[in-house]
Chains A and B, each alone.
Chain A
């Protein structure tokens, strides 16, 4: 597993390789949290109104019962003495009302419709619905009324009793009323408490909701971590324990990883096998052609055979470069960076290629300075430099010279390969790095045109670049590969 791979600064050419931005359908955690918080808000308001209603009802009832007690005690003080109705309002009847608030108290006592005492303009209870027997309704049953009186809201209780007088049964009716300012204040206090209760409930529920959302999403986060921390080459199935609901997803993911692994292995094997299968018979044919060439003397036959050998060499080299290119594509897609000692790598490579250069008596001169290790894939970098060197040796005339240098600039470690092979005709240096494009002066030399493409792709995968310029003397080309040191 590679330590925190820093994404390399992408050049325009490599931008196509970054996967397209996924469209997000919203956060699961936010959705869950919102739903839970929403439910909590609904529950909190239901709680608020229930508590408020209950408290209001309770306060009304206790107020009513005091009014009722007051009216009852007044009614109890009504006596009939010698056919005369006497009423002595007990002090306690009104003082008990004063105990609960400072509200003003009104009362009225009527005998049938005659006012005995109290406020004559107190509102009268609505007349009872027709058909209801008067006795049923009025005998000791209080009737309550909320109404307006003298610009105040008023709660009033009315009690009636039939009294036997000389002239027959007379109805005595007592109304006691109190303004509701105190009750309103009390209700406001109750509302505040209920509101506090509701808000408190909501806050605690919301916190719990957030925590629950976080907790429910955690296994997903853990799985994401497990999968994304993997190195680019790690294609083992996911073995991490997950909740039951996520098992199908992980199963699918594992099947997908397995398919990917098999297909990658297959294509790697296939390319290697294909190159091998192509080049081995080609080698046999080439040898046969060479043997034949030594035996024939006729110039036409010799020309044909030479053409044949050249075509075979071209195919063989192309197969090798296709293999290189496939390998480079495969490895750059999942670049694994480790410290690479560029100078040592180039020096070793030059040593390995020296025998090939000596076939054409080409002097391979290597000047390396020690540059700091750069983060990269040694196999890829080696492949890129080898392709450039191969090109230089291939296109150089016998007994010429190829110079390889490694040096450091402000940001990059640079490998340059300078040859005296005539250079590239100016206009098409960019096109040269396209696949299968060869320089216009390459006629007669074997090549598939993939060498520079490979080198450029490797450089770009590392965030570096490939430059082609005429050499200082103008006799050849100078190809440089720059790799960032950071």
Chain B
């Protein structure tokens, strides 16, 4: 997915960029309003993360112009703690959500997902794999005429599998990406989710294979 990050604090920007890229997203970074306008004019983004206080202007002005251009791209505003009264204001200006700095990355990730899911109805991000139609935004998996709604962890697991099919994913790595670090889980916890996904995939030509001693691999017959 393609993100635009508008944030002038270099270290925060670096952290957000690294984190989003780690999850395989493509992120462009703009340090001021002018650069952001340039990026937004030339590129279609799935999501914009927007800071309010920028060196050459106010993020809210960018937001206003963005909405005036009938742009549909969802925007999550990053606000500082002291700008309490701004929170309501940015939602009125057309922001889809806001997150208060300093924030947890898991919360940012969760908010991005929630916003993307609300906007995912257009199907532009749907992925076809074999006889499967996977909509990571809407969190649905369609097999033939049957559409299943996936829970968060199932969804993320399937996302990881489908991002690089035919590749072997070790249980350890899957645990790292699926569970937050404050959850004490054994690697066997992954098996529960794999079993659930297999249930959803029953009848499909796509299956999750166990590679003994190494992990899992998604394969298409």
Give chain A's interface residues, CB within 8 Å of chain B. 268-269, 272, 275-276, 278-281, 283-284, 286-288, 290-291, 293-294, 297, 302, 306, 309-310, 313, 316-317, 319-320, 323, 327, 354-356, 358-361, 379, 394, 398-399, 444-446
28 A-B pairs with CB atoms under 8 Å apart are: A269-B82, A272-B82, A275-B102, A276-B81, A276-B101, A280-B11, A280-B12, A283-B12, A283-B16, A283-B19, A283-B105, A286-B105, A288-B18, A290-B19, A290-B176, A291-B18, A291-B22, A297-B172, A317-B104, A319-B102, A355-B110, A355-B113, A356-B107, A356-B110, A358-B113, A358-B114, A361-B153, A398-B153
In the A-B complex, the 9 residue pairs with the closest CB atoms:
A279-B102, A355-B110, A355-B114, A283-B15, A284-B15, A446-B182, A287-B18, A309-B181, A358-B152
Closest residue of B by beta carbon distance from A354: B114
Kindly state whether residue B180 has any CB partner on chain A within 8 Å.
yes
A304 to chain B, nearest CB (A): 12
Contact with A along B9-32 (1 / 0, CB 8 A): 101101110110010000000000
A316 with B82: in contact, given A288-B18, A360-B183 (CB under 8 Å)?
no
Kindly state whether residue B69 has any CB partner on chain A within 8 Å.
no
What chain B residues lie within 8 Å of A283 (beta carbons)? 12, 15-16, 19, 102, 105
Q: How far is the CA of A316 from the CA of B82 in the complex (A)?
A: 18
What chain B residues lie within 8 Å of A293 (beta carbons)? 176
Is there an interface contact between A394 and B9, defined as CB atoms closer than 8 Å?
A: no
Give chain B's interface residues, CB within 8 Å of chain A. 9, 11-12, 14-16, 18-19, 22, 80-82, 84, 101-102, 104-107, 109-111, 113-114, 151-153, 172-173, 176, 180-184
Is there an interface contact between A361 and B102, defined as CB atoms closer than 8 Å?
A: no
Contact of B15 among A280, A297, A302, A313 (CB under 8 A): A280
What chain A residues lie within 8 Å of B172 (beta carbons)? 297, 302
What chain A residues lie within 8 Å of B81 (beta carbons)? 272, 275-276, 323, 327
Q: Which of B14, B105, B114, B181 has the most CB of A within 10 A?
A: B181
What chain A residues lie within 8 Å of B106 (beta carbons)? 356, 359
What chain B residues lie within 8 Å of A269 (beta carbons)? 82
What chain A residues lie within 8 Å of B12 (beta carbons)? 280, 283-284
What chain B residues lie within 8 Å of A319 (beta carbons)? 102
Closest residue of A by beta carbon distance from B176: A293
Is there an interface contact between A358 and B80, defined as CB atoms closer than 8 Å?
A: no
A202 to chain B, nearest CB (A): 63
Q: Which of A276, A323, A327, A398 has the most CB of B within 10 A?
A: A398
A275-B102, A359-B110, A361-B153 known; 20 other A-B pairs, CB under 8 Å? A272-B80, A278-B102, A279-B101, A279-B102, A280-B102, A281-B11, A283-B105, A284-B15, A288-B18, A291-B22, A309-B181, A313-B104, A316-B102, A319-B102, A355-B113, A359-B180, A379-B84, A398-B183, A444-B182, A446-B182
